[in-house]
Amino acid sequence: MTFTTLTFLIFFTVVFALYWSLHNRRAQNVLLIIAGYVFYGWWDWRYCGLMIAASFLDYFVGLGLNKTEAPWKRKLLLTCGLTGNLAMLGFFKYFNFFAENFQALAASLGWRVDPITLNVVLPVGISFYTFQTMSYSIDIYRRKMRATTQLLEYLSFVSFFPPLVAGPIERGTHLLPQFFKERLFSFQQAADGCRQILWGLFKKMVIADNLAPIVDAAFTNPSAYNGAELVLATFCFAFQIYCDFSGYSDIAIGVAKLLGFELIRNFAYPYFSQSVGEFWRRWHISLSSWFRDYVYFPLGGSRVSKPRMAFNVMVTFILSGLWHGASWNFLIWGALNGIGVLPDILRPQHSKRNPSEIPVEQPGAVAIFKVLITFTFICFGWVFFRAQTLGNALLVLERIGTSFLSAAGGLLGKHDATDGRVFIVLALLVALEWVKRAHLHPLVFDRWPQPARWIGYTVLFWTIVYLGTYGSSTFIYFQF
């Protein structure tokens, strides 16, 4: 079930009505579990088995960790939990990649190995909920929290449907306690949730989905386009993936707010970053912080020598690249971003600013220059992220390098169904996000009188209706 469908609207209306008509917290949690499994099983009911397996594995690991104090036993239990989760992830996500590459390696050495790849379909959202359950076990192991003995609340936490298939990746320390609290309906929270949903739908349906045909055409067959067209396609992809993914997060956070929950922030206007390091503190924050807390810090983080710190950064970013998918492109993309982050990390007084401390002062020319340089670097990485093969990525870069000074009109003429209007809307989005960058999302007009606010929301709603794309396209991050 996708957020942009009528099916979801009907589903959520029913869930919302039932949820708030129940005055018992535990009954609400039962409803949320049922809703979570219906939402997830809508793709394929067989996927539910995986989610149940992941849930129970970490539930029992957590209970075991609660009961034991012996370090070796605790370590063993955690290893079992992590192995189970990673095995599931590895089988569905990486088995074919490693089997194919092993075969290619063997062939290069003159050995003939029969391919043993399986036609495994990647279950939607598996990378998200396995990371969520893994963080639960690790946090208990680290004694940051106690494991819950309440199965109902725990299952509600894992199957909570708004962030289930594309994040934000929640932590047990943040989300789980909310299932133990009585939920009181808050007008402010619900209204803000509605605004965030509207903004998410706008980004996804008006911008991301209208940019998609331009990007798809260029990256499916890059040899048919010149350098300028490929630069344009890369620029379009930068905003397509931003609006698609942050749009999903906005809708998920908004839907959760309507149910009385607060999810963690996942995007903080990342394209206004002045360095690659800052970008990664503002882009897919829940994943970046996951890798920081569970990979980078255990490796020693920044409390080690500079070469070791650089090594830690590279390992973290390469793993983060591979989290997105099993391909050399993602590995290179991760490594590129790791290299991009190094100057920021290795500086004696590097910034550790967190995303809630976004600079809102008016930037000077130097800052704007840094933003543009960072954006260009990030776009360079997106080429590897988006291209279907490594060959295609290199071809895109080669053509950009050799025929940059050419006209880009052909790509738009053929594949921009909006006759350029999407770029006007995109410019307005960037402007609005810039003006509102101090807020969690841009639709905050507290000082406006209500009629003016409603006119604004109405214009936005009808812009979605008028310019939106209502195809069956899903969100890009569902594939991860």
Partner 1 sequence: MRAFLKQFGLFAAIQLAIAVIVVWSYRRQYPSAQNYLAASIDKHALIRTQEPPRLIFIGGSSMAFGVNSAAIAEACGRRPVNMGLHAALGLQFMLNEVEPNIRPGDWIIVAPEYQQFIRLGQSEMLVNMLEIDSANARLLDRHEWAGAFDTGFIQRFGKIARAVIGRPGRFFRKNTMSRSTRLYYRRGGFNQNGDIVAHLNETPRGLREKEFQFRYRDEMVQETIAQVNRFAKNAEAAGAKVFFSHPPLPREVFQKNRATISRLDAELRAKLTVPQLDSAEEMVFPVEYFFDTWYHLAAAGVEKRSQLLASRMAQRSKGENVAR
Binding site for partner 1 (CB under 8 A): 2, 4-7, 10, 20, 185, 187, 190-191, 194, 454, 457-458, 461-462, 465-466, 468, 470-472
Give the nearest distance from C-beta 384 to partner 1 in angstroms: 26
Of 4 and 240, the one with the shorter C-beta distance to partner 1 is 4
Nearest CA-CA partner of 215 in 413, 372, 411, 4: 411
Spatial distance between the Cα atoms of 295 and 75, rounded to a whole number of angstroms: 16
Spatial distance between the Cα atoms of 310 and 73, rounded to a whole number of angstroms: 33
Of 114 and 419, the one with the shorter C-beta distance to partner 1 is 419
Active site residue 324: yes
Give the nearest distance from C-beta 206 to partner 1 in angstroms: 11
Give the nearest distance from C-beta 457 to partner 1 in angstroms: 7
Q: Tell me how crowded residue 5 is: count the other CB atoms within 10 A of its CB.
A: 14
Q: Tell me how crowded residue 416 is: count the other CB atoms within 10 A of its CB.
A: 20
Of 254 and 338, the one with the shorter C-beta distance to partner 1 is 254
**Enclosing H/E stretch for 229:** helix 227-258
How many CA atoms lie within 13 Å of 398's alpha carbon, on the beta-carbon side?
8
DSSP for 419-470 reads TTHHHHHHHHHHHHHHHTTTSSSS---TTS-HHHHHHHHHHHHHHHHHH---
Of 268 and 425, the one with the shorter C-beta distance to partner 1 is 425
Exactly one of 324, 350, 415, 441 is catalytic; which is it?
A: 324
Nearest CA-CA partner of 238 in 426, 394, 421, 425: 426
Give the nearest distance from C-beta 109 to partner 1 in angstroms: 34
Question: What SS3 class is residue 327?
Answer: coil
Of 356 and 472, the one with the shorter C-beta distance to partner 1 is 472
Secondary structure tally for the chain: helices H, strands E: 20, 0
What Å distances lie between residue 292 and 301, 313, 348, 448, CA to CA?
Answer: 8, 9, 19, 40
Beta-carbon contacts of 266 under 8 Å, excluding residues fewer than 6 positions away, are: 167, 168, 246, 249, 253, 284, 285, 286
Of 2 and 148, the one with the shorter C-beta distance to partner 1 is 2
Beta-carbon contacts of 305 under 8 Å, excluding residues fewer than 6 positions away, are: none
Structure tokens at 180: 């133990």
**Torsion sign across C-alpha atoms 84, 86, 89, 94:** negative
Of 281 and 415, the one with the shorter C-beta distance to partner 1 is 415
Give the nearest distance from C-beta 6 to partner 1 in angstroms: 5
Nearest CA-CA partner of 140 in 168, 176, 112: 176
Nearest CA-CA partner of 383 in 223, 218, 213: 218
Residues with active-site annotation: 324
